[in-house]
Amino acid sequence: MDDRLLLIAIGALVGVCSGLAAVALNTGLHFMAGALSGLRTHWWLFVLPGIGAMLSSLFLEKGVREGAGHGVPEVVYSVSRHGGLLRLRSAFSRLISSCLTIGSGGSAGPEAPVVMSGASIGSNVAQFFSLNERQRIALVGCGSAGALAAIFNAPIAGLVFTIEIIVGEWSARNIVPIAVASVAGAQVSRLLQGKQIAFTHLRFEVGITATLAAIGLAVVTALVSIALTRALRGSHHFSGKFPLPFWVRAFLGGCVVGAIGLMLPEVLGEGYHSIRQMVEGSFAPGLGLVLLLVAAKIAATSFTLGWGGSGGIFAPCLVIGSFSGLMYHRFLEMLWPGLSLVNEGCFALLGMAGLVSGILQAPLTGIFLIVEITGGYETILPLILVSALSTTICHAWEPASFYFRDLVEKGQYLRPRTDAKVLADLSIAELVETDCKTVPRSMRLGEFIRVIQQSHRNYFPVVDPETGQFEGMIHLDDIRPYLFDPLLYETVFLEQIMETDVETVDIHDELSGVLARMDAKGLFSMPVVSADRFIGMISKATLLDKYRNELMVQTLH
Amino acid sequence: MEMQMLHIFRNTPLGREMLLQSAYFCKQLEILPLIYIPDYIKFLMYFENDVVQVDLDASYLKAPDSAKAHASEIVQGMGLPQPRFFAPKHFTASTLPDLPVDFDFMCCPRSISDLSSKIGLGYIGPRVRRIVKSARFPVLIPSAVYKPWTSIAVLFGGSSNAVKALRLGIRLSRRCGLPLDVFSHPESRSRQDYENILQEAGLKEDFDNYVRTWQIFENRSFAENMYEIPHDALLVLGAYGHGLIKELLFGSTMEVVQTVTPNSMLIVGPNYRAVI
Amino acid sequence: MELKLNEFARCLQMPVTTIERWIRQGRIPAKKIGDSCVFSDTALKKWARTHNLSFCLPDEKQEEKPDQKMETLSEAIDRGGIYYDIAGDTVEQVIDSAVSAMQQLGSDTARRVLYESLVAREQMMSTGIGNGVAVPHPRTPLSNSGIADQMAACFLEKPVDFKAVDKKPVHVLFVLVATTARQHLHLLSRLSFCLRDNSFLALLSQRPEPETLRNKMAEFDQRLNNGE
C-alpha cells in the first residue's frame, strides 16, 4: 500500500484509540464527581483536593515513575528533538493522575492529559510498525488531535491545536492524517457520549458596539493571561523552595485549593458548570464577586498545578476567560448604563477565546475552539479580533507561550524548518573534514613548505607522531612572512611557529554552540579534537554546503 | 576516532567490581571509558525506534561525594588515563536526563533497575534487555566479580546476528591480540553449512587467520556444552537474532547461555552496527 | 534496489551518518533493512534532483574525464621535435621560420593561428627569459586549433635580439603549445626547472644532438618525478 494511504489508515486508528482515552477520562471524572457529590456539605472537605493531589503525585512518581512534567512541553520536546518518541506509560499515567486531581476538586483541566496520552498512543503505534520519524510525528499529531477533538467534541480545534502547538508545521503530509484522526476522535466521542455541544446558548445579536468593545476585552484578557502565566510559574518556584517531599507539597497545595473552594465553590474542578451558566447569561454574582472569582481561580490553578497536582491549563483558562469576559461586560454596563450591548454570555465566550489565545499564543486554536464548543458562529467577528489582539499583546510581554517557555529557556525550542532545527540535526561528526595533513612539531620549515605544496588546505594540525596527541595548529598565514626566506627553511622548526592555544571543538558538541563560539572569536574554522586526538576540521565554507543540503531536505517535500 | 564505552558508576563494592571489569575491557581494547555518575534516579535513552526509561537501583545514588574520586582511582589503577565524566546535556523533564546513544560500547550489570540482590545467573533485567534490543553498540554484561579474561570465545550458531558476533569477535581479537575460540552448536546445520555462511559473509579469510580453535558440539545438550567454554574467556554472542515467534517458542540462545555461564558477556543486539 | 549503507552514501556523496539520519527521519525515499538500504532507483534520482544532490549508482559512474595526464618534458619534446639552424634576423622572422619548421601542427590554418598568437604574445612582452633562451607561447591555450600539446626546441642560425630580460641575444627557442592553461603551466614549470640548472644551459649553448638533449630532459623528468 502507498505510504500516505497507510499513514492515513493508521492515523484513523490512532484517532479512535485516543478518542477512547478521552472518553475514558471524561467518564472517570463524571464518576468521581458523582461519588463525591454527597460529601459536599462537610466543612472538612477542604482536605479532599489535597488528598487527590497527593495520590496523583504519588501515582506519577512512584507508581509509574513518570518523572512528572507538564505534559504538552514534553510532547513538543520529543517531537522536535527525538522524532516523537514517547514512553508507553505516558499513554495512561496522566489520565489516572489527572482524574485523581480534578475529580477531587483540584483546579485543572483534562485536556493536556488526554493530549499527552493520545500523543503517546500515536508514538507507540508508530514504534510498533517501525515507522520513520516523519511518520511518527504525524501519528503523534493524530493522537493529540483525536484526543482533543474527542474531549471537546471539536474536530477543527483538535486539528488546529495540533498543527499550531504540537507539530508546528503546516504541510499537506501532516494535515491529512491529522484531520482524519480528528474526525475519528470526534466521532468516537459522539457515538459514546452523544452529540453534545458543551456550552449551548441563546442566539446573540452582535452589533458594531460589541465588536468595538471587544478591543477593550482583548486588553483585559491579555493582562489576565499574563497574570495567570506568572502566577503559575511563581507558585512552582515558590513551592520548590520548601524542603518537603513532593507528595506533602502536593497535599498542601491541594488543601489551599480546598480552602478557597469552601468559600467560592466555583473555582473547584474543571469548572465547566459555571461556564455554562455564564454563557447562558444566568450567572448571578455581581461585579465585585466576579473580580474576586478571577483572582481566586488563578490562585487555585496555581496551587493545584504549581504544587504538584496533575492536569492541564486549558479548562482553567476557559473558566478564567469567561469570568473576565463577564467582569468586563458588567464594568462597561456600570460605566454606561444605557449602552445597548449584546448579552453578557457573548462576552463570557469572547473572554474564553481571548484567554486561550493569550496563554497558548495560538490565535487560531482559540478562535476555532470557542466557535466549536459554543456553536456560536455569529460571534466570529469579535472573536477573531479578541484572539488576535490578545495573542499580540501577550507576545509582547511574554515572548514565549506557557507551553514553550521552558523549552526556549533550555534552547530546545526547535520548530521544523527553522535555523535552530537544522543546526540541531547536523552533528559535528557529519561535518568534520578529515582530509587534513598532520605534521610533527620537529619538522623543519623547508620540509613543511613541501607539504604545503602538495596540500590544498590552509590549516595544518601539529600532532605528536608517537602518542597521537594534538599539540597545536599552523595556519598558512602564520608562516607567510617566512615563506620566501630560504635562509629560514633549515633553521626554523614548526614548534617555533605553531599556535598552541587553539580553540577546539569536541565531536559531541552541539553545532549551534560551536557556531556561536566561531562568531564570537571571528574564526572560520576550528579543529575537532576528541580526547586529545585530532579528528579533523570543521569550517564555515563546507558548512554552507551541508546547511543548504539539510535545509532543502528538510523543507522541500 | 577514539572509541568510548559508557559506564554508569555506582559507588558501592559491587559497583567497584563492575568498573574494574569495564576498565579491564577498555584497557585490553584501547577504549576510553566514559563514566556517568547519576544525579537522578531515572534517565531516558532515545534509540532509533524505542525510548527506554531506566529507573536505577537506588544504590546508584549513594555516596555521591566520593564517587568521582573512587571511579578515577579504579580506572587509573588499571593504567588508563584519567577518565572522562559524562554530564547530561538534554533533559526531557527537569529530573529526567536524556543519555545519548552514540557510544561504541556500554557496560550494564545484569539488572540495572532492580535490587542488586537479584543479580545472579539466569536473570537479566527488562531494561537491560531493551537496551540490548535497541542499541547499535554491543553491551558488556560483566561477571559479578572482577576477573581478567585472557581469550575471546564466540558462540556462533549461524544466524545473521551470530555472524555479527563473530565479526565483532574477530575484530576484538585483532585489536587486543588475544586468541579467539569459536563454539558452534549445530541445530540443523552441518559443517559445510557453516563454511558457506562464512564464505557468504566474507569472513573466510579472517576466520582462518584469527580463530585458534573451532569446536562444533554435537550430540550433547547445549547447556552441557557450555562447560567447554574457558572460564577466563570473554564470551561474545548475538542476542535476539531469531524472529519474535521463533524466540517465543524456542527461547533465544542468550537465555540458555546466561543461565549457565558466569563469564563476562559481550552481547550483540539485532541493531548492532560495526564500529571496530 | 538494495545497496549497502556505505555504498548508498557514496552514491549520494554524503557522509554515512547524514544518510542514516535522513533515513531515520524519513526525509529520503529509502528504507533501511539491517545494514542495507532499499530504494527505488527512479524515485531516488528524482528526489536527488529536486534536492540539489546528485545520485548515481556505482556501476554507472558518469564518464569522469580521466584526470588529464600531465606531460613530461620528453613526451612534449618528442611530439614537438628538435630543429636546428632556424633562420631570421628579427623576432617575427625567427618565429615564422620556427613555426614553418615544426612538423606536428596539422593544417596551414593552425600554423597561421599559432604564428599570429606567438607574435602577439611577443609584442606584449618578450618571452626571452635570459641566458639566451626564449620560450614563445600563445597567451591563451589553443584549445580548438587541433594542435596537440607539444614543445619544440629550435636552435637559431644566429643569435637574435629578443629584448630579453637580461638583454642578451637569444640562441635557442622552446616553443610551447598547450591545449589547457594547466598543461601550459605544468610544462613551463618543468622547463624552468631545467633552465635553472647550469649544466643544462651549458649543454644548450653547445647545440647538442637531438639524442643528447632528449636524454638530458629525460633525466630531469626523472628527478622531477622523484619529487624534487
What CATH topology corresponds to C2-58?
Answer: Arc Repressor Mutant, subunit A (1.10.10)
Chain C hits for B51, CB-CB cut-off 8 Å, are none
Q: Are residues A340 and A294 in the same domain?
A: yes
- Tell whether the model's pLDDT for residue A191 goes beyond 90: yes
C23, C27, C53: residue with CB nearest A554: C27
Q: What is the mean pLDDT of residues C54-78?
A: 70
Q: How confident is the model at residue B241 (pLDDT cuts 50, 70, 90)?
A: low
| A202 to chain B, closest Cα gap in Å | 45
Whether domain B151-268 has CATH 3.40.50.150: the reply is no
Provide the pLDDT confidence category of residue A117 given band limits of 50, 70 and 90: very high
pLDDT in tens, B145-155: 899 999 999 98
Exposed, middle or buried: residue A409 (CB in 10 Å: 0-12, 13-18, 19+)? exposed
Burial of A212 (0-12, 13-18, 19+ CB in 10 A): exposed
CB neighbours of residue A282 within 10 Å: 10
| Chain A residues touching B55 at Cβ < 8 A | 65
The residue length of chain A stands at: 557
Q: Which residue, among B86, B42, B56, B88, has the nearest Cα to B68 in the 3D structure?
A: B86
Average pLDDT over residues C50-73: 70
Answer yes or no: do A67 and B100 touch at CB < 8 A.
no
C-alpha distance from B94 to closest chain A C-alpha (Å)? 8
Residues 6+ apart with CB under 8 A from B45: B51, B52, B54, B98, B99, B101, B131, B134
pLDDT at C204: 85
pLDDT for A271 equals: 83
Cα dihedral B258/B262/B264/B268 (nearest 10): -10
Contact B48 C24 (CB under 8 A): yes
Looking up residue A465, the CATH number of its domain turns out to be 3.10.580.10
Tell me if A535 and B94 make a contact (CB, 8 A cut-off).
Answer: no
Orientation of helix A208-240 relative to helix A314-335, angle to 10°: 130
- The reply to whether residue C17 touches residue A430, judged by beta carbons under 8 angstroms, is yes
pLDDT score recorded for residue B247: 54
* C7: exposed, middle or buried (Cβ count in 10 Å: 0-12, 13-18, 19+): middle
A 44-83 residues with CB below 8 A of C? 83
Task: Count Cβ–Cβ pairs < 8 Å, chain A vs chain C.
Answer: 39
CA of A133, closest CA in chain C: separation in Å? 4
Mean pLDDT of C80-97: 87
The neighbour count for residue B244, using CB atoms within 10 Å, is 8
A62 touches chain B (CB under 8 A): no
Confidence check: pLDDT of C179 > 60: yes
Nearby residues of B180 by Cβ (< 8 Å), 6 or more positions away: B151, B152, B153, B154, B169, B170, B172, B173, B210, B211, B212
Region A438-456: mean pLDDT is 85
- Residue type present at position B158: G
| The domain over range B4-141 is classified in CATH as 3.30.70 | no
Instruction: Output the CA–CA distances (angstroms, integers) from residue B130 to A125, A314, B54, in the order listed.
Output: 17, 36, 10
Chain C residues contacting A via beta carbons under 8 Å: 14-15, 17-18, 21-28, 50-53
A356 lies in the same domain as A253: yes
A373 contacts A416 by C-beta, under 8 angstroms: no
Tell whether A302 and A375 lie within a shared domain. Answer: yes
Residue-wise pLDDT for A193-243, tens only, equals: 887 777 776 677 788 888 888 999 999 999 999 999 999 989 988 888 888
Confidence band of C114 (pLDDT split at 50, 70, 90): confident
Domain boundary assignment for chain B = 4-141, 151-268
Q: Tell me the residue type at A551.
A: L
pLDDT of residue B251: 56
One of 3.30.470.20, 1.20.140.10, 3.30.160.100, 3.40.930.10 is the CATH number of C73-225, namely: 3.40.930.10
- Percent of chain A scored above 70 by pLDDT? 98
Alpha carbon A537 to chain centroid distance?
36
* Nearest C-alpha neighbor of B206 from the set B237, B236, B180: B180
Give the span between the Cα atoms of A103 and A85, in whole angstroms. 30
In a domain, A201, yes or no: no
The answer to whether residues A437 and A335 belong to one domain is: no
Whether A123 contacts B50, CB under 8 Å: no
Chain C CB contacts of B48 under 8 Å are 24
User: B151: exposed, middle or buried (C-beta count within 10 Å: 0-12, 13-18, 19+)?
Assistant: middle
**Residue A76 maps to a domain:** yes
Which of residues 80 through 119 in chain A touch C, CB cutoff 8 A? 83
Q: Report which of residues A531 and B200 the model is more confident about.
A: B200
Contact C150, C76 (CB under 8 A): yes
Q: State how far the alpha carbon of B63 is from the alpha carbons of A54, A488, B15, B83, B99, in Å.
A: 29, 59, 12, 19, 22
In chain A, residues 513-552 whose CB comes closer than 8 Å to chain C: 546, 548-549, 552
CATH number at residue A161: 1.10.3080.10
Mutation target for B interface from C35, C36, C37: give the one with most B CBs within 10 A: C35
CB-based contact B160 C24, cutoff 8 Å: no
How many residues comprise chain B? 276
B96–A67 CB contact, under 8 Å: yes
* B-C C-beta contacts closer than 8 Å: 3
Q: Which residue has the higher pLDDT, B15 or C147?
A: B15
Name the residue among A326, A335, A340 with its Cα closest to residue A282. A326
Q: Taking CB atoms and an 8 Å limit, are C15 and A429 in contact across chains?
A: yes
CB A50 within 8 A of CB A251: yes
CA angle C163, C166, C167 (to 5 degrees): 40
Query: Binning pLDDT at 50, 70 and 90, where does residue B264 land?
Result: very high
Among C12, C13, C16, C17, the residue to mutate for chain A (most A Cβ within 10 A): C17
Q: Is B243 on the interface with C (CB under 8 A)?
A: no
Give the mean pLDDT of chain A: 88
pLDDT at position C62 is 52
ipTM above 0.85, yes or no: yes
B151-268 has the same fold as B4-141: yes
Region B64-71 average pLDDT: 92
Confidence of residue A511 (pLDDT cuts 50, 70, 90): very high
For C22, the closest chain B residue by CA position comes to B48
Of C21, C23, C50, the CB nearest to A556: C50
| C-alpha span between B86 and B68 (Å, rounded) | 11
**A177 in any annotated domain:** yes
**How far, CA to CA in Å, does B169 sit from each of A519, B128, B263, C162?**
46, 21, 15, 75
Evaluate whether residue A498 is within a structural domain. yes
How many domains, chain A? 3
List chains touching A (3+ CB pairs under 8 A).
Answer: B, C
CATH 3.40.930.10 residue window(s) in chain C: 73-225
Q: B13 burial class (0-12, 13-18, 19+ CB within 10 angstroms)?
A: exposed
Confidence tier at B122 by pLDDT (50, 70, 90)? low
Distance from the Cα of B173 to chain A's closest Cα (Å) equals 23
**Ramachandran bin of A426, using left for φ above 0, alpha for ψ from -120 to 50, beta for the remaining angles:** beta
3-state SS assignment for residue A179: helix
Kindly state whether C24 is in contact with chain B, defined as any CB-CB distance less than 8 angstroms: yes
Question: How many helices (H) and strands (E) in chain C?
Answer: 9, 8
The per-residue pLDDT for range A460-503, each reduced to its tens digit, is 899 988 888 888 898 888 888 887 877 888 888 888 888 888 88
Q: Which of A412, A435, A451 represents a domain boundary (last residue)?
A: A412
> B204 falls in which pLDDT band (50, 70, 90)?
confident
Which range among A148-152, A348-352, C175-179 shows the weakest confidence by mean pLDDT?
Answer: C175-179
User: What gap in Å lies between CA A187 and CA A17, rounded to an integer?
Assistant: 11
Q: Which residues of C are catalytic?
A: 137
**Averaged pLDDT score across all residues of chain B:** 85
Question: Which DSSP symbol is given to B147?
Answer: -
Q: Taking a contact as any Cβ pair under 8 Å apart, which residues of chain B between 132 and 161 contact chain C?
A: 160
- Mark yes or no for CB contact C34/B48 under 8 Å: no
Q: Which residues of C touch A425 (CB under 8 A)?
A: 21, 25
Interface check for C17 against chain B (CB to CB < 8 A): the answer is: no
Burial class (CB in 10 A: 0-12, 13-18, 19+), A289: middle
* Cell numbers for B269: 543486539
Which residue on chain B is closest to A126 by alpha carbon?
Answer: B49
Measured from the Cβ of residue A19, the count of other Cβ atoms closer than 10 Å reads 33
Please tell me whether residues A179 and A215 are part of one structural domain.
Answer: no
Residue A527 lies in domain: 420-555
Q: Minimal Cα–Cα distance from B270 to chain C, Å?
A: 8
Chain B touched by C35 (CB under 8 Å): yes
pLDDT tens digits along A261-310: 888 888 888 888 888 888 888 887 888 888 999 999 999 999 998 888 88
A93: its cell numbers: 499515567
Give, rounded to a whole angstrom, the gap between the first and last alpha carbons of chain B: 10
β-bridge mates for residue A405, sequence order: none
Give the model's confidence band at B24: pLDDT under 50 very low, under 70 low, under 90 confident, else very high: very high
Contacts B160 to C, Cβ<8 Å = 34
Q: Is the pLDDT of residue B119 over 70?
A: no
Beta partners for residue A239, in sequence order: none
Contact B273 C24 (CB under 8 A): no
Give the pLDDT confidence score for residue C190 in this predicted structure. Answer: 84
- Asked if residue A242 and residue A101 are part of one domain, the reply reads no
CA distance A86 to chain B (A): 7
**Per the CB < 8 Å rule, is C21 touching A425?**
yes
pLDDT of residue B276: 44
List Cβ neighbours of C150 (8 Å cut-off, separation of 6 or more): C76, C77, C79, C80, C81, C102, C104, C177
pLDDT > 50? residue A524: yes
Contact B2 A531 (CB under 8 A): yes
pLDDT-derived band at B242 (thresholds 50, 70, 90) equals low
Q: Where are the beta strands (DSSP E) in chain C?
A: 2-4, 30-33, 36-39, 82-86, 128-130, 133-134, 150-160, 170-177
> How far apart, in whole angstroms, are the C-alpha atoms of residue A323 and residue A314?
14
A267 and A159, same domain (yes or no) = no
Among A133, A546, A556, whose Cβ lies nearest the Cβ of C26? A133
User: What is the C-alpha to C-alpha distance for residues A261 and A307, in angstroms, rounded to an integer?
Assistant: 17
Searching chain B, which residue's CA lies closest to the CA of residue C32?
A: B271
Which residues, including other chains, have CB under 8 Å from residue B273's CB and lie 6 or more apart?
B136, C35
Q: Point out the residue among A132, A430, A553 whose CB comes nearest to the CB of C51.
A: A553
CA–CA distances in Å: residue C113 to residues A37, A500, C81, C110, C116: 107, 57, 19, 5, 5
Smallest Cα distance from C91 to chain A, Å: 35
C-chain residues near A83 (CB < 8 A): 24-25
**In the predicted structure, residue C53 carries a pLDDT above the cut 90:** no
Contacts of C35 in chain B (CB under 8 A): 273
Compute the Cα dihedral for C55, C58, C60, C63 and give only its sign.
positive
Contact A134 C27 (CB under 8 A): yes
Give the residue-averaged pLDDT of A170-195: 91
